[in-house]
Amino acid sequence: MAYPPLVYYGTVAEYRLHYERIYCNHSITTFDGIDVRFRKERFDHCFCESTMRSQVKDAFSSERAQRIDWIKYALEDPNAELYVGWDKKKKKHDPSHRVALVVNDYIVVIRIRNNKTAQFVTAYVADTPSTLAKIKGSPKWVPLKNQSR
């Protein structure tokens, strides 16, 4: 699956409008049939990052924003590697969080509500070997109906 070219805008407002137009007006269906919904307020979480590697996202990330169109492709990519996400607060894996790892170490995270719907959480490039190792060291994700809880 060929991923789209990077998107270049001059302002954060242009990226925000692009995100709202492409994602917030309708859901995107994953390759395995899950409808993912996007909220306008997730823009800052997705396209900003911490300059101090803390929990505070204080700077717009052009690297993240340029891959704005990759989110849809990653969700629709049947070749994506799927992993269980990590809950920082509980310090354990959370099977309701699905991490898709695709080309160029790009990651899209969704929160599964049920076997048919999900909420978009974030997307980013795994920019360090340790980040990538943590993700690949996570359990493989399987649909919630197949998980024992």
State the pLDDT at residue 144.
63
State the pLDDT at residue 147.
46
Q: What is the dihedral of CA 131, 132, 135, 141, to 10 degrees?
A: 150
Which residue stretches of the chain have pLDDT < 50?
Answer: 146-149
The tokens for 96 are 């309701």
State the pLDDT at residue 82.
97
Q: Does residue 135 sit in helix, strand or coil?
A: helix
Ranges of each domain in the chain: 12-140
Backbone φ and ψ for 48, nearest 5 degrees, come out as: -120, 160
Q: What is the dihedral of CA 65, 35, 85, 72, to 10 degrees?
A: -30
State the pLDDT at residue 143.
77
* Residue 36 amino acid letter: V
